[in-house]
A = this chain, B = another copy of it.
Amino acid sequence: MFTDIQQCCMLLGTSDDILILCHKSPDGDTVGAAFGLYHALTHIGKRAAVKCSDPLPERLRYIHEGISMPEFEPRLVVAVDIADTGLLGPNLEQYAQRIDLCIDHHVSNSDYAAQTLLDSKAAAACELMYLVIRYLGVPITKPMADALYTGCATDTGCFRYSNTTARTLSTAAELIRDGASSAWINNHLFETVSKKRMELEKRIMDTLQYHFDGRCATIVMPRALLDELDAKVEELEGIVAIPRRIEGVDIAIAFRENPNGTYKISVRTEAKADASAICQQFGGGGHVRAAGCNLPGPLEQAMQALLAAAGKELGC
Mark A residues whose CB is within 8 Å of B. Answer: 158-162, 164-170, 172-174, 176-177, 182-183, 186-187, 190-195, 198, 202, 205-206, 208, 210, 214, 245-248
Q: B residues within 8 A CB of A167?
A: 173
The closest CB in chain B to the CB of A198 belongs to B246
Number of copies: 2
B193 and A160 within 8 A (CB)? no
Most B-side CB within 10 Å, residue of A162, A169, A182, A191: A169
Q: B residues within 8 A CB of A164?
A: 182-183, 186
Residue in B165, B173, B183 whose CB lies within 8 Å of A169: B173
Residue in B166, B176, B206 whose CB lies within 8 Å of A174: B166
Most B-side CB within 10 Å, residue of A159, A208, A246: A159
Residues A191 and B160 in contact in the complex (CB < 8 Å), given A205-B202, A206-B202: yes
Task: Give 9 A-B contacts (CB < 8 Å), ordered by A residue.
Answer: A160-B186, A161-B183, A164-B182, A166-B176, A169-B170, A170-B173, A191-B245, A194-B246, A195-B210
Q: B residues within 8 A CB of A159?
A: 158-160, 169, 172, 186
Q: B residues within 8 A CB of A195?
A: 210, 214, 246-248
Q: B residues within 8 A CB of A158?
A: 158-160
Residues A186 and B206 in contact in the complex (CB < 8 Å), given A169-B170, A245-B192: no
A192 and B160 within 8 A (CB)? no
Kindly state the separation between the CA atoms of A253 and B313 in the bound complex, as whole angstroms. Answer: 44
Kindly state the separation between the CA atoms of A214 and B208 in the bound complex, as whole angstroms. Answer: 27
CB distance from A218 to the nearest CB of B (A): 14
Q: B residues within 8 A CB of A174?
A: 166
B177 and A173 within 8 A (CB)? no
Q: B residues within 8 A CB of A161?
A: 183, 186
A166 and B173 within 8 A (CB)? yes
Residue in B166, B176, B186, B190 whose CB lies within 8 Å of A177: B166
Kindly state the separation between the CA atoms of A182 and B123 in the bound complex, as whole angstroms. Answer: 14
CB distance from A186 to the nearest CB of B (A): 5
Kindly state the separation between the CA atoms of A213 and B312 in the bound complex, as whole angstroms. Answer: 50
A162 and B187 within 8 A (CB)? yes
Kindly state the separation between the CA atoms of A293 and B118 in the bound complex, as whole angstroms. Answer: 55
